[in-house]
Amino acid sequence: MKRRKQRSHEKLFLVLQIILHTLIFKRRRRIHHLLPLLAALTGGILFFFVLFSPPITSQHHHLINPIWFNNGTELQMNLQKEHVFRVPMGGGSLSGDIWTSKQSILYHGCSNSSYKFPSADVNTHPNRYLMIATSGGLNQQRTGIVDAVVAAHILNAVLVVPKLDQKSYWKDSSNFSEIFDVDRFISHLSKDVKIIRDIPRIGDKVITPYTTRVPRKCNAKCYQTRILPILKKKHAVQLTKFDYRLSNRLDIDMQKLRCRVNFHALKFTDPIIEMGRKLVERIRMKSKHFVALHLRFEPDMLAFSGCYYGGGDKETKELGKIRKRWKTLHATNPDKERRHGKCPLTPEEIGLMLRALGFGNDVHIYVASGEIYGGEETLAPLKALFPNFYSKETIASKEELAPFSSFSSRMAALDFMVCDESDVFVSNNNGNMARMLAGRRRYFGHKPTIRPNAKKLYKLFLSRNNMTWEEFASQVRTSQIGFMGEPMEVKPGRGEFHENPSACICADSDANDREDASLFGTHSIISEIDTGSSTNSARRDMVEVTDGQASEEEQEWSDTEYMETELEI
């Protein structure tokens, strides 16, 4: 009560000051007629102020702000400047380097097999052929390709080069050899699993595979129980919708095989690599460092998430119409979805988060994204924060992109390469591309990989106008602890193995060699050599892998769920 009275007195005093100064400036020519009135008014003000105002202490000084006049016609006053939310141009002076992790030099990727792991010659049984049909977009299909190699080893089978999904939402007609280097895929894994391009004939007969599907997260025993008896009888099995059909709970040699496939055997074709290199080089010509952002703010993703972004009836109708595509989706509470961290951040919110983390307006940003809901109007706040803003379309000509632009997976491969080569990668959801890149960046040196802690950031964005920028930025940095791609910030076994390949991360002090990292060309990827028991016994794996469980802060929706529902249509 006393504080409210004090503030009302201060405001009244300021109003009286305004009247006094206005009279002075507007009536300069007749001021000698007003001297008696001004003297009386001034005396009254002083008496009122002394009588009712408490002694001024340091804690009240900031409440009384200066007033400026321009010929008595313009007045700028702000009684509570301490709550002004003004975003700075620069990133501020933070301790540490925003482009690197101090801990990253202590760890490296290690995926060599142990001496106990049977070679393909010993492990493969004749007349057993495993075929798989992947599903989803590029990175969802990539998970299926990786896990298919492991499944073939579990089943002692020959793997036929996987078939890519050509019928789902993206309608991409590309086959395996048009996206990945098929010769490298076969040769690099020849010691682990025998891989052939096409299923062979037996005499004059073409082998017709038995088609079935395994449940999600099927472990080794599951494959041996469900699929092996069929394979022995039919000789060929095709597993459909093959994505996330292999458990995270596998022994370490199987996990390391996953890493050999994902990080060494799967290489994009030369045309994709060449174009990806050009994109990266052109950004590097403009800036030594750059951030890559997977914005994921397309209309279909927003519709699927059931989130609301303040666009009124227009947004509700537009996204609601798209949402009807998924017949199995239930009605959601948009506010609840946001509170639980299940909604992508807006471009503006991503920009504010990055500024709070220390990225100034001179930072160059590459955005990997499809059509943004709301178009340029939605992107405007992010571009205002980071004017050095690029995409494939802004740094390459239509002619250069023509061989790729009609194929969603090839365009996604270009984005994947630029994001992987970036100094800092920022995801806006926990989908397949974000997971695959997070795992790859951990394996190859723990390059900073930022995932917004949407659950905590949501509260900050709601209340940001009630705090100073310094308070907001400090709380953002606190909220993002554990979401910056630092070594050991994710507990081993948490999340998908493709995102957190903990069985393939070793401490440098326990390693005899370092495995090279590059997407650009076969010559720069060093094939792993079986170093035998002496090296492997010297290596100490970070921790034992357990089945993946979502952490408390982990977002619960993903591209996987999105595509699983999409493909049921």
Burial class (CB in 10 A: 0-12, 13-18, 19+), 369: middle
Same domain, 248 and 279: no
Contacts of 154 (CB under 8 A, 6+ apart): 220, 223, 224, 254
Do 263 and 275 reside in the same domain of the chain? Answer: no
Boundary residue ending a domain (503, 529, 547)? 503
Task: Assess if residue 283 is contained within a domain.
Answer: yes
Q: How far is it, in rounded angstroms, from Cα 218 to Cα 529?
A: 30
When pLDDT is averaged across residues 68-92 and rounded to a whole number, the result is 55
Res 66: pLDDT:
32
pTM: 0.77
Single-letter residue type at 241: K
Q: Tell me the CATH number at 220.
A: 3.40.50.11340
Instruction: List pLDDT tens digits, range 388-442.
Output: 999 999 999 999 999 999 999 999 999 999 999 999 999 998 789 999 999 999 9
Do 197 and 239 lie in a common domain? yes
When mean pLDDT is compared across 87-96, 291-300, 523-532, 550-559, the lowest value belongs to 523-532
> How far apart, in whole angstroms, are the C-alpha atoms of residue 247 and residue 416?
25
Q: How does pLDDT run across 102-112, given as a tens digit for each residue?
A: 788 889 999 99
| Residue numbers of the domain that contains 398 | 271-297+344-503
Mutual angle of helices 347-356 and 454-463, in 10-degree steps: 90
- pLDDT tier for residue 19 given thresholds of 50, 70 and 90: low
Report whether 11 contacts 79 (CB < 8 A). yes
Q: Is residue 61 part of a domain?
A: no
Per the structure block, which two tokens stand in for 289?
A: 């460092």
The percent of residues above 70 in pLDDT, for the chain, comes to 73
Residue 235 lies in a domain: yes
**Rounded percentage of the chain residues whose pLDDT exceeds 90:** 54
Asked if 236 and 288 sit in the same domain, the reply is no
More confident residue, 60 or 255: 255
CATH code of the domain containing 448: 3.40.50.11350
Number of domains within the chain? 2
Interhelix angle for 347-356 vs 375-385, to 10°? 10
232 with 276, same domain: the answer is no
Q: Is residue 352 domain-resident?
A: yes
Q: Are residues 195 and 287 in the same domain?
A: no
Beta-bridge mates of residue 368:
294
- Whether 522 shows a pLDDT value over 80: the answer reads no
Please give the pLDDT value at position 330. Answer: 80
- The predicted-structure confidence for 452-480, as pLDDT tens digits, reads as follows 999 999 999 999 989 999 999 999 999 99
Q: In sequence order, what are the residues at sequence separation of 6 or more whose Cβ sits closer than 8 angstroms to the Cβ of residue 524?
A: 516, 518
Residue-wise DSSP of 362-375 = T-EEEEE-SPPTTH
Q: Are residues 129 and 252 in the same domain?
A: yes
Rg of the chain taking only CA atoms, in angstroms:
31
Token output for 211:
């088609």
Q: What does the pLDDT read at residue 566?
A: 40
> Is residue 525, in this structure, part of any structural domain at all?
no
E strands, 364-489, where? 364-368, 389-390, 424-427, 449-450
- pLDDT per position as a tens digit, 482-516: 999 888 887 777 778 999 999 999 988 644 444 44
Residues 377 and 493 in one domain: yes
Residue where one domain finishes, among candidates 484, 503, 522: 503
- Specify if 84 maps to a domain: no
In a domain? residue 241: yes
Q: How many residues does the chain have?
A: 569
Q: Burial-class residue 125 by CB neighbours within 10 Å (0-12, 13-18, 19+).
A: exposed
Q: Give Dmax over CA atoms of the chain in angstroms.
A: 120
Higher pLDDT, 337 or 258: 258
Q: Per-residue confidence at 49, pLDDT binned at 50, 70, 90?
A: very low
Same domain (yes/no): 290, 430: yes
From the list 153, 155, 151, the residue with the least C-alpha distance to 235 is 155
The reply to whether 224 and 287 lie within a common domain is: no
Mean pLDDT for the chain? Answer: 79
- The predicted pLDDT at position 307 comes to 87
231: in domain:
yes
Q: What is residue 349's three-state secondary structure?
A: helix
Do 283 and 179 fall into the same domain?
no
Q: Give the residue from 86, 83, 67 showing the smallest Cα distance to 16.
A: 67
The pLDDT value recorded for residue 547 is 34
3-class state of residue 465 by DSSP: helix
